[in-house]
Amino acid sequence: MSVALAAMGSHALAETLSVNGQVETFGKAVDYAIHGAVALLAVVALTKLFSSKLVLIGGYVLAFGTLCFSGSLFLYTIAGLPVTFIT
């Protein structure tokens, strides 16, 4: 999903983001979404090794945090919504 958003940002939204000065912020949102996805893959691997509820809860917390943080940056850059209180 983050790769698709990166492609959309670099092609379809390039002019809009550059006019609004949001290219760097959008790039950070994509970077953090990709890092969150890789970390979630690590959590999935850990759940296969350890049958601990803490690992599963950590995965949910990580997914929620990534969604809130990157999502707020995406909403801020694409829709112009002032949701930077999350970031």
The confidence band for 71, taking pLDDT boundaries of 50, 70 and 90, is confident
The single residue listed with the structure tokens 């790039």 is 27
Q: Say how many domains are in the chain.
A: 1
Has residue 7 been placed in a domain? yes
Asked if 23 and 31 touch (Cβ cutoff 8 Å), the reply is no
- Region 59-79 average pLDDT: 87
Has residue 62 been placed in a domain? yes
Has residue 87 been placed in a domain? no
Has residue 40 been placed in a domain? yes
- Geometric angle at alpha carbon 49, from 44 and 51, rounded to 5°: 85
pLDDT in tens, 31-60: 888 899 999 999 989 888 888 888 889 999
Beta carbons within 8 Å of 18's beta carbon, 6+ residues apart? none
Boundaries of domain holding 63? 2-79
The 3-state secondary structure of the chain, one letter per residue: CHHHHHHHHHHCCHHHHHHCCCHHHHHHHHHHHHHHHHHHHHHHHHHHHCCCHHHHHHHHHHHHHHHHHHHHHHHHHHHCCCCCCCC
Number of residues in the chain? 87
Of 25 and 87, the structure prediction assigns the larger pLDDT to: 25
